[in-house]
Amino acid sequence: MKVLIIEDEAALNKSMVDYLSSQQYLCESAIDYRSALDKIEQYAYDCIVLDLMLPGGNGMNLLKELKASNKMDGVIIISARNELQDKIDGLQEGADDYLTKPFHLSELSVRIAAIIRRKNMQGSNAISFEEITLDNAAKTVKVNNVEVLLTRKEYDLLLYFIVNKNRVISKNAMASHLWGDDMDMAENYDFIYAHIKNLRKKLLAAGAGDYLHSIYGMGYKFSVK
């Protein structure tokens, strides 16, 4: 899976590349309009992470270029501007998603995964981790081919964990993922704990391995280990 990261802030660009590379994505980065345009014209990507304010040009024009050349690349806009109009414009120009800075890398990763799944319609909509299989179209989960009934939130959490497998995810990032950034964090931690407890219980009961590890003082990690 090839991903192009277009972001002029070097530190931000690098951390995105590092995080996504560790998840079997092949990442390339561009830090200005010119080099981004070159890369877009020459190669095809599964997903492009696009910052709107770039030295040398507006990210929106890159979107137009992509559209004009009929490229199938998925695009997720990352912008510092939390403007409704920007979102509408971006999505109208053919972007698949819009993420406002500051975001969690786990959130970015789950959004990229969703875009790639949507783009690869020939592939199945299934995501699997060991004996757990998620059918993203039907929103169902099977453990060893036996369906497990999960609530919507639990399903969301499981998908989020599997996409970000082997990574430590903070409670804060999970709360933002499930309830958005507007909610108070401290209060949400209790829910997160309740949801995770239920999810783990259901998975274990269905015969899955215990993959959910709690990281003290921080959050959780979904891994075989």
Partner 1 sequence: MKLFAQYNRLNIFATVVIFLVGSCTFYVLLRYILIRQMDTSLQSEQQEIVQYVHLHHTLPEIINTREQRESFVIDTASKYTCEFFNSIEAGTGKEYRDIRFSIAVGADNYIIVVSKPMDSTQLLLKLIIGVTVVMIALILVAGIFINRRILNGLWKPFYETVNQVKDYNVTTQQAISLPVTQTDEFALLNQSLGVMIERVQNDYESLKRFTGHAAHEIQTPLAVIRTQLDMLMQQENLLQRYAPGISEIEQAVQRLSRLNQSLLLLTKVENRQFVLDEDVHIERIIADKCTELTEIMQVKHIALSLTVAPFTVHFHKHLAEIVVSNLINNAIRYNRPSGLVNIVLENGILSISNTSSLPFLDQDHVFQRFYRHADVKTEGNGLGLSIVKQICDFAGFRASYHYLDDMHIFMVDFNTRTSL
Q: In sequence order, which ranges of the chain are alpha helices (DSSP H)? A: 10-21, 33-42, 59-68, 84-92, 105-119, 152-163, 171-179, 185-205
Are the C-beta atoms of 124 and 160 separated by less than 8 Å? no
Which C-beta is closer to partner 1: that of 133 or that of 202?
202
User: Minimum distance between the CB of residue 204 and partner 1, rounded to whole angstroms?
Assistant: 23
By beta-carbon proximity to partner 1, the closer residue of 42 and 190 is 190
Q: How far is the CB of 182 from partner 1 (least distance, A)?
A: 7
Contact by Cβ (8 Å): 152, 162: no
How, if at all, do strands 26-30 and 47-51 pair? Answer: unpaired
Q: Listing from the earlier edge strand, what are the strands of the sheet with 26-30?
A: 26-30, 2-6, 47-51, 74-79, 97-100
Q: How far is the CB of 55 from partner 1 (least distance, A)?
A: 12
Q: Report, in Å, the least distance between residue 62 CB and partner 1.
A: 17
Pick 100 or 125: Cβ nearer partner 1: 100
Q: For binding to partner 1 (CB under 8 A), which residues are involved?
A: 9, 11-12, 15-16, 18-19, 22, 53, 78, 80-84, 100-106, 167-168, 170-173, 176, 179, 181-188, 190-191, 194, 215-219
Tell me how far, at minimum, the Cβ of 156 lies from partner 1, in Å.
13
Of 104 and 117, CB closest to partner 1: 104
Nearest CB to partner 1, comparing residues 143 and 161: 161
Indicate the burial class of 102 (C-beta count within 10 angstroms; 0-12, 13-18, 19 or more).
exposed
- 78 alpha-carbon distance from chain centroid: 12
Three-state DSSP string of 63-81: HHHHHHCCCCCEEEEEECC
User: What distance lies between CA 193 and its chain's CA centroid?
Assistant: 22
Q: Which is nearer to partner 1, 1 or 185 (CB)?
A: 185
In single-letter form, the type of residue at position 191 comes to: F
End-to-end CA distance of the chain: 25
Output the smallest distance, CB 136 to partner 1, in A.
23
